[in-house]
Amino acid sequence: MIEVKKVTNKKELKQFVTFPFKLYKDCQYWVPPLIKDEMQTLDKAKNPVFNNADAWYFLAYKDGEIAGRIAVIINKLEVEEQGKKKVRFGWFDVIDDIEVTKALLDKVYEIGAEHNLEYTEGPVGFSNMEKAGILTMGFEELNTMITWYHYPYYAKHFEQLGFEKQATWVEYKLSIPESIKEKVAKFSKIVKQRYNLSVIRFKNKKEILPYVDKMFELLNKTYNNLQTFVPIQQYQIDYYKEKYFSFIHPDYITCIKDETGKLIAFSIVMPSFSKALKKANGRLFPTGWYHILQAQRKNNIAAFYLIGIDPELQGKGVTAIIFEEMQHLFNSKGIEQVETNPELKENTAVQLLWKDYDPVQHKERSTFRKEL
């Protein structure tokens, strides 16, 4: 017997957050999130995203045991301002039983119909700044801290239930050479001189703060035309700043300004925290913090988090400056391999950035859509 219940209290929310720890306990590739962070993200009293979003959380039970979870989300900015009549769903995890999947998705259809929405898409978060997509390739790879891991049967369930792929993201591994490529260094110098650009270097996190809002402004400009994009609000910027700031070392941030001091490009890279988070197993205490600290200090793998370039300077070689800076950083830190963040498959301009670094696509993920 399958029963789906709405999460109504903190105890049930904790069960919702921790269900994947049971589902993936024997999976060597699943990287667990921090339980505390997940609880705060889903807490309507703590996450400011609920200024412009509604969400309902459900747990599916089979024969009395939790067998799946799903979050049903309505992003009001997306629906009311962008005119997308979409009900989102995310935080979707389930045992390999299509009847459980169907029962959970029925809740998405119900809420979508109640709000006169036309289609559903997922898995996605509250906005484009969060995790998205069912893994469809790369099941024998660790997920990063900004992506979900899924078993192969997830996508099969959606296809059997009449869903079609909507957006697809690809991810790459890059090999870092032992020294800067001559043509990158040469081109970087030319671009700096041609457009009067210079690199901003930070000594500590305090020096970064004045630039954080400007980075998100650039993100809005950079990705505004992509199909999944919803403009980032100031309250979200403040929230993400607090959530991720502790993970970011000043050395891993590259900012570029023009002659007037205007920020025209930036990139944020982080040491890979996948192995550290796996050891932490959802908790910073008693020893999780140590594993994360060690990953910050000594690591031969890094992960791209964000990159933004002013549209007026896109395609004009600014990325050569970014890569020159990152190359020096990687060599000084002993970074031998970099993993890109998920990039929309049609965003070929971003994928071309990696062409000189022996890119190998190792993961792919998609959201799935169905008309209501």
Residue among 366, 370, 369 nearest 150 (CA): 366
pLDDT at 228: 58
Examine the domain organization and report whether 115 and 209 are in the same domain.
no
Over residues 112-135, mean pLDDT: 93
User: Is residue 369 in some structural domain?
Assistant: no
- Bridge partners (DSSP) of residue 4 are 60
Q: What percent of the chain has pLDDT over 90?
A: 67
Choose between 184 and 40: higher pLDDT.
Answer: 40
Q: Which of 105, 137, 169 is the last residue of a domain?
A: 169
pLDDT of residue 170 exceeding 80, the answer is yes
Residues 140 and 95 reside in one and the same domain: yes
Same domain, 304 and 223: yes
Residue 20 and residue 66: Cα distance in Å, rounded? Answer: 10
Whether 368 is covered by a domain: the verdict is: no
Residue 244: which CATH number? 3.40.630.30
* 107 pLDDT higher than 90: yes
Question: What is the per-residue pLDDT across 292-319, written as a single tens digit (0 to 9) for each?
Answer: 999 988 999 999 888 888 888 888 889 8
Residue by residue, DSSP assigns 124-170 as: B-SSTTS-B-EEEE-TTS---TTS----THHHHHHHHTT-EEEEEEE
Longest dimension (CA), the chain: 69
Write down the pLDDT at residue 236: 78
Question: What would the DSSP string read from start to end of 71-105?
Answer: EEEEEHIIIIIS---EEEEEEEEE-S-HHHHHHHH
pLDDT at 180: 83
Domain for residue 351, yes or no? yes
Confidence of residue 357 (pLDDT cuts 50, 70, 90): confident
pLDDT of 229 > 90? The answer is no
* Number of domains forming the structure of the chain: 2
Pair (30, 94) in one structural domain: yes
Looking at residue 7, its pLDDT comes to: 98
Asked if the model's pLDDT at residue 28 lies above 70, the reply is yes
pLDDT category at 227 given cuts 50, 70, 90 is low
| Residue 372 is assigned to a structural domain of this protein | no
370 within domain boundaries: no
Q: Is 29 exposed, middle or buried (0-12, 13-18, 19+ CB in 10 A)?
A: middle
- Are 162 and 181 found together in one domain? no
Looking at the fold, whether 45 and 133 belong to one and the same domain comes out as yes
Instruction: Please tell me the least confidently modeled range out of 204-218, 234-248, 357-371.
Output: 234-248
| β pairing state of 119-122 and 86-94 | parallel
In a shared domain, residues 148 and 225: no
State both tokens at 291.
């594993």
Q: What is the pLDDT of residue 205?
A: 83
Which of 105-114, 186-195, 268-277 has the highest average model confidence (pLDDT)? 105-114
pLDDT at 225 over 80: no
Residue 331 forms part of a structural domain:
yes
Same domain membership, residue 17 and residue 137 = yes
Contact 133, 148 (CB under 8 A): yes
Among 18-27, 116-125, 310-319, the least confident range: 310-319
Task: Tell me which of 152, 169, 186 is where a domain ends.
Answer: 169
Same domain, 266 and 353: yes
* Prediction pTM value: 0.92
**Residues counted in the chain:** 372
Identify the band that residue 179 occupies on the pLDDT scale cut at 50, 70 and 90. Answer: confident
Domain shared by 147 and 199, yes or no: no
- The domain of 203 spans 174-363
Q: Do 134 and 199 sit in the same domain of this protein? A: no
**Residue 371 covered by a domain:** no
Identify the domain boundary among 117, 136, 169: 169
Residues 323 and 188 in one domain: yes
